[in-house]
Each structure stands twice: as structure tokens, then as C-alpha cells.
A and B are shown apart, each in its own frame.
Chain A
Amino acid sequence: MPDWIARLGTPTAKPPVPAKPEVPDWLAGKPSTPQVTKLPAPVTPSAEAEVPDWLKPPSPTPTPAVEAEIPDWLKPPSPAPTPAVEAEVPDWLKPPPPAPTETEAPDWLSQLAPTPTSTEPFASTASPIETETPDWLAQLPSAAVAATPSAPAVPPIESEAPDWLSQLAPSAIEEPSALAESPDWLARVPPTAAMSPVPSEPEAVPSIEPEAPDWLAQLSPLAVAPEPELSPVTKPAKPGPALIGEPVSELEPPEWLADMGKPGPAPAAPVLTEMPDWLKEIEPKSSPAPSEVEAEAPSPFAEPVVLPPGEMPAWLQELKVEAVTPTAGGVARVPGPKAAGEGGLVAAQLPSWLQGLGPKEPSAVAAPKVEEEPAETKGALAGVRGTLPVAPIALQMSGAGISVSPEIPAGDLAGAGALQELLARGMTAVVRREGESRARRLEGKVWRGFVLLFIALAVIVPLALGSDFSLVSAPSLPKAGDDMHKSIEGLAPGAQVLVAFDYDATQAPEMDVLARVVMRHLVARQAHIEVVSLYPAGPAVAQAVINNTLPVTSLIKMDVTNRGYWPGQATAVASLVAETKSSMVIELAATPDTLRWWVEQMAGRPQKLLAGVSASVEPAAQPYAASPQLKGLIAGVPGAIAYQFKLRGTLPQNEQQNPADLLAPLNSIAVANVALVFVMIFGGVIQLLSGRGSPSGDGRRRG
């Protein structure tokens, strides 16, 4: 609530307020300054004399001084309005019935009338309270009470009032509709202070209390000062500093207050053009019909209004509501319940003048521009157009989607086009980089193909040459292999040996060489061989090795039992170790896991554990061979070939293989190793010469 409204509320000496609980906080919370102490109160013996000039009907011969100081907006309307305007004047604006007697005026009205004693010390009795009284209130009667002696006390300030305030009055007079929509609380305001001579002390008006809020009871004739606030609501006006919340200086009135009573009707058109939208929305464009006036929201301040016959503005006519007795012919009653009693405000209920800010009926504020913006549908701002879109903002803050308006401004489209261009450039760059990457990928494919082809040739060519190509000699058997040979060689004929074929077809080309060598030796020792496997495909691989261990023409008989697949991994190994009667276990492992299972489960067992492992398992098997948990070990094709050469003295002459055939794989392996070393060195040199640094992706990015 603006401060100026709060100051209207209570005087310095606050009278008892019976209906205080019903007064909203915004009205009762802040004490106001006693404007009455500052106001001039001319005392007139009669009713005519008590009515100040600014409330008097227009005199045919006003004094020039008064005419000069009364602003136009306070002047009565012209006696000959246009027929159109008359047709729109509601009944309550029509000529009032005969004026009531002055003795019927209530006491609070009499109190509002300043006494002569309070008039004289107006300037000199500027007590500390006066500093609290807004100057703009003091400025108001400068025009209204121009006939009083103290009226000229504020002429210098008048020149500082803004234009928009000076334009309020003409529009209010020229538009009867605005009169019809004047806030109801003004209807409760005592019409004039000149109705009866009453003391200006606020303590002397207890009779007002049951009928009006305390802040209204304190109103003096100067209480019409809310007119500047009323005007923006009902009439087109410029936004002033006070309307946008700027603090009003108490010592020096703002310009807009200084010009409150300054005559200066401005053309309506410029005002409309400078008016903000929210003011335009609430501006009544057309005068509502009398029925519409009666259909307005009920107000607790609604009282019969007696209107002079076109002599005063409507809002001034309403000030007489409490003072006059309504008559049947000249009274226009604004319908409304008196919920809080006479003049009381209903608790937790907005005043009608605030509710009036939001025209519930669009027809009452029908304007071409108003319809362009959406109106609030609920809340205190229901019906007001042009408010901030709270709901979309709230939805945006809560993460919900925002409805996109299909009408995109041209500036946004231009910005979007620029962004799209930037994105297109990025895509082009990505495509270009992707093209480079494609070239690099092709280059990588070429290099990899070259390496694979080179190694393949290094493997195949020695094999194709056969015995004509001899690059390596017969390898020597390592100590672990020799231990293995000794262990098998020490088997008695008919000894039971458990051989585990723990590999499948994918490792068979390498592991079969080892398996054949071991099986040959076992067969040569006439051992009883039991074959098991921890792989489901192991028994088949084992059977293929068994079938190819000896030549078809061999006369040696094999004692081999294929016990098949043993599921359970380490558990199966433990089970096999527990139930076997073999004195020796030979593990043919292509992976470190199976070798570790056998070694771990054979720990502490009396059986010997030998192993023939793949070359890739050899690093993991060496510690077990050195422990020595493994009593013998051969690894990879080289170890198998070395073992094969060791067996030559064991097997019969017709069972022995050609040494050149045995060395053929070693020749291929040797050439392949040389080829790999060459590829590594060549690749490193190329990498360094090309300046790509590391062959990893970082090096390519740097390149």
C-alpha cells in the first residue's frame, strides 16, 4: 500500500475504533499523520457558506482569483454538456433532490469542517506533526479552499506538479464513465468539511466511528487528496513517481503533488500515448450504462449518493453521501452489502477500489489494445491485462516446458539463422575431420594389412619350403622340460596317469603339438592314460589327439580312457584329485586359470603334477615350476619340439618323425618373430619420421 494511503488512516490522536478487527492490516497497520491539523477550515454560518468554494456549484460570477486557482479538474462540468454525455450520465449523476438541511449533517462531517481558529494558525501552527503530514495533502486544498485566507500558502509548489496529474481532472470531467467507476471508498468519505462548523480536533468526532473506519473518520476535506491515486485507476493519466513506489519526501513535496491543483488541462491524446499499458488496460474507455454501474461489485462503502445537478465531479458528489438524506428521485444507490456494518471493512476482503482495479467484466473496459494481451483469470489481479506472465515463469523455473509462441520475432529469426550458420560450419568442420579420419582409417587399414600379410608370409613361406629351408637347429630342452621328461620316463609300465585336456578347438593347433608329444611319451612308457577335461569341448579335442598320436601303421597299443567332461572347474579338479588313483597328473592348459586350479588343488597331494602349457601361459607357469609345485613343464610349440627331439631316443625308430619336419614350425616361428621385430622397428621409425609422436590417438590429434 502506498504510504499516502497509510497516512490517511489514523490521526495522531487515534479515536476508539469499534470495528478495528475488521479493518485490514493495510489500512490499520500504519498510523497516519493528522492532516486535519494542517488543513484550513473556513467556517461559514450557513450551508452555503460552509461549503468550500471548491465544492460549491459553479457560480456564474466567480471571483477571478478563485477561478485562477481552482484547477479545471475540480471545476464543475459545463452547464451545457453534449447530449451524448448526458445520455451516459447515470442517475446518480443527475440533479440531486433539494439540498438537505445542514442540521442533518452528522457530527463527523461537522468535525471535518475546520474552525476559524484552526484556519488562522495554519501556517504558524506547523507543529512537528506537520512535518509528518505529506505535503501533497497540504497541497490539495490549495485549490479546493482557494477562497479561504490560508489557501495561498502553497502556490510555489503547484508549479512542480507533473503534467499527468494536471491532466487527470479534465479527463475525469469529460468522461462520465470514470465517475461511475470511482472507488466506493470515496463514497464513504464525508462530502465536505463545510457542512457544519465543527471543531477540527479529531477527538470530537466519536460519532463517525460506528459508521466508518477510523482512517475515514479522520478525513478532513483534504481527505480528497486520494484523488491522485484515484485518477490513475479511473482516468487516463501519466505514471507519476509516487505510483511506481518512489518515496515521497515529506519535507518537500514532489512535483506531481505540487501541481495537484494546478489548472492545466492537457489534450487527452498525448496522455493516452504516454500512458503505460497497464494503465491503459484499466482505463474505462466508455461509460458504462447505469445498469452496469449497479451491477458492479458490491462495496461496503456503498451508500446513497446525492448528486448535484451537474455542478460537481461525481467523486465530490459522493462525499456528501453521509451528509444528505437520500430521496427517491435523486438518489442513485450503488448496490452492495454492508458486511462490516456501516463503513466497516470486511476482514480478509479486498477493498472495492482495489477490486475495481481488475475489471471482471471485459465489456466495461473494452478497448482495442486491451484485448491484445491476456488477462489474469484469478487472484487479486483477476481481469487485469498486461501483467507479468507469472505462470510461464514459474513453470520455467520448475523445469516444465514453456509453450513456444508461433509468432517469432524477426530479430530472433535472424539470430537463429546466425546460430544455424555457426552450427553448419561446425558440421562442415566435423565432416572435414571425419574425412581426414576416414583417410587415416584407410591408412591404418593398409598398414595393418601390410603387417598381417608380412607376418603371414613369414609363417607360410618356411612351411612351404619344407625341409629345404633350415633356419634353426634343434632346440635344447629347458630344465623344467627335462624334469618332465625324467618324470614320465620314470613311470613304470602300466602306471595310471591322468591327463587333463583343458583347451578347446580354438587353442588346438598349438596345444595339440604339446598333447601329442606327451601322449607319445606316455604311450611309449605303456602307461594307462585317463583323459579328462574341464572344457565341454575338451573330450573331442582329446579324442582327436588320441587318434593322431601314433601312425595308423603303428604297432604300439595305447591304453587310453576318455572320461569326458568334468563340470565344476576347481570343484571338479578337487573331486578328480580326490578320487583318482593315478600317480601322475599332466595338465595341458591353454589358460592360466585351469593350471592354477590344478596346482592349488594338488597342493599337498602325493601325486606328481606336470604341465604342458601354451606359450601365453608360460609366464604364469614358471613360478609354479620353480617352486617346484610343478614337477615338469613344457611350454608352447618350441618346448614341444624340443621335447620331441628328446623323445627320439625313447621311441622306436619307425615311430620317430623326421627332424626337418619337426623343425618346420620352429622355422616359421623364428621368421615370424624376426618379421615382428622388423615391423616394430619400422613402425617406430615411421612414427617418429612422420612427427605423429605416440601412435595413440593423442599423437594423431597432434598431427
Chain B
Amino acid sequence: MIFGVPEAMINLIGTIVATVLTLCVFSYLLGIRVLYRLALHVLIGAGVAYAVVVALSTLYTRVWLRWTDASAHGDVWMMGYLVSGVVLGVLLWLKLWRRTSGWGNISTGYLVGVGLGVAAGGALRGTLVAQSIATATFTGTDPLAFFIGLLGTLTVLISFTFTATWRRGPLKAVARFVQGLSAVGRFFLYIALGATFAGVYVASVSVLIGQAQLVGRFLDQFVLPMLRPLLSQIGLG
């Protein structure tokens, strides 16, 4: 029961709404832009409203409930931690006015600094170093795959080299070699982009399948039971 409404009923309403909105989106194929735009507006509006509710809920659960708990237990550090967060949040609100916008830079600087630090450290440790080590390390299970992976990684990196442009002298051969590797790297890039496109297509088809199954269930569970008596009367049931 949710707000006194049975969960089955809520699921039914949700299914009906979802089906209608899905059909509205599909109406784009028929050239009916109005229903398509209506579905988009409903989706965006509902998403923003839900985000606002989630933000307020998060503020309640992350700040107010913690504050009451810390104040009940006399946890000064937690209270100070929460107060500092609230102060930073209030300072960020001051950016709405020109006179006080400078105070908001404190919160902005804190957010940007922490975000960049976390992201840069994670990228360096989790992607650059880890992937470089993994690429250069032969695990011994599949030498061919290892060689292809190593070649693809190096040539893709070389393909972004634009300085090997010597056309005379002894460096001409070096430049040609680098350009050849760049061509190989571009070949790997094309394969990767093709795989990405294939994945996007499969994902789109999967979404379409999911929505089609939703509509099929709606028809099977609600529409056909209502139509069966009528169809049986006319001899089609």
C-alpha cells in the first residue's frame, strides 16, 4: 500500500502512463510531433520535479537527521562538519546576487578543487597507470590478443602525432614510418568507432524492445481481456 493505494493499482497506473507516453513517442514516426513533444515535456518536467524532491530529501536525510543524531549524542565534530557544509551551501546561494556573488566563490572553489583533485588522482591511478601496465603486461593466456592490443594501443597513440612531417633528409624515412603507424592507428580507431556504433545501435534496439514488451504486456493484460467478449460475440474470439 502506498498512500492507501494498492501496489498493484499503482503498477497498473504506471504501466498505463508508460504505455501512453511510449505511444506518444512512437507517434514521431507518423509525423505527429505534438504528442512526441508532449511526452518529452512530461519526461523533462517530471525529471526536474523528481530531482528537486530528491535534493530536498537528501538534505533532510544527510543533514537534518545527522544533525539531530549528533546533537543528541553530543558529537561536536559531526555538528561542526554539518555546519561547515551548510555554510558552504549558503555561500553558494549568495552567487544569485551580484553584490554577494563573490562569497559564492568560496564554495565554488572548494567544489572545483576537491572535484579536480579526486578526478585527477583517480584518472592517473585508475586509468593511465593501470591501463598502461595492463597493456604492457603479457599475461600469457593469449599472445595474439596481447600483440593486437599492444599494437592497437601504440598505433592509436601514434596516430595523434602530428609533428613527424619531415620531407627531406634522413628523417624522411622516420616520418614515413611514423605516418604508416598512424595509418594503422587510424584503422584501429575506425574499428573502435564501429564497435561503439554497433553497441549504441544494440542499446537502442534493446530500449525499443523493452518498450514494445511493455506495450505488449499492457495489451495482453488490459486491452485484450476487455476486447475478448466483444470479439467472441462477432465470432473472432
Interface residues of A (CB under 8 A from B): 449, 452-453, 455-456, 459-460, 463-464, 504-510, 512-513, 536-537, 539-540, 547, 564-565, 567-571, 574, 596-597, 599-604, 614-620, 623-624, 626-629, 635-638, 664-665, 668-669, 672-673, 676
Contacts and interface: CB of A to CB of B under 8 A. Distances in A.
A623 B131 CA distance: 8
Given A571-B118, A574-B122, A459 B199 contact: no
Contacts of A452: 29
A619 B189 CA distance: 12
Contacts of A455: 205
A604 B126 CA distance: 8
A597 B202 CA distance: 24
Given A596-B123, A615-B198, 15 more contacts: A455-B205, A459-B209, A508-B210, A509-B214, A564-B54, A567-B58, A569-B115, A600-B127, A601-B118, A614-B199, A616-B202, A619-B199, A623-B131, A665-B213, A676-B201
A220 to B, nearest CB: 82
A510 B213 CA distance: 11
B58 A564 contact: yes
A136 B47 CA distance: 101
Counting chain B residues whose Cβ lies within 8 A of the other chain, the interface size class is 35 or more
Contacts of B130: 603, 627, 629
SS class, residues of chain A in contact with chain B: helix
Contacts of A599: 126-127
A569 B202 CA distance: 27
B118 to A, nearest CB: 5
Interface of B: 7, 11, 29, 43, 47, 50-51, 54-55, 57-58, 61, 114-115, 118-119, 122-123, 125-127, 130-131, 134, 149, 192, 195-196, 198-203, 205-214, 216
A611 B92 CA distance: 35
14 contacts: A449-B29, A456-B29, A463-B216, A510-B207, A536-B55, A539-B54, A564-B57, A565-B55, A570-B118, A599-B126, A601-B122, A615-B198, A616-B200, A669-B205
Contact of A615 (B61, B125, B202, B212): B202
B210 A509 contact: yes
B115 A571 contact: yes
A600 B199 contact: no
B51 A615 contact: no
* Max chain B C-beta neighbours (<10 A), residue from A452, A604, A618: A618
A460 B118 contact: no
Contacts of B199: 614-619, 635-636
A603 B125 contact: yes
A668 B216 contact: no
SS class, residues of chain B in contact with chain A: helix
Given A564-B58, A619-B196, A669-B209, A604 B125 contact: yes
A629 B202 contact: no
A25 B134 CA distance: 92
A657 B209 CA distance: 18
Contacts of B206: 509-510, 513, 615, 636-637, 665, 669
Contacts of B126: 596, 599-603, 629
When A and B form their complex, which 10 residue pairs have the shortest distance between CB atoms, in order from nearest? A509-B210, A600-B126, A600-B122, A603-B126, A536-B51, A627-B134, A510-B206, A615-B202, A616-B200, A615-B203
Given A453-B29, A570-B118, A603-B130, A537 B202 contact: no
A505 B43 contact: yes
Nearest to B133: A627
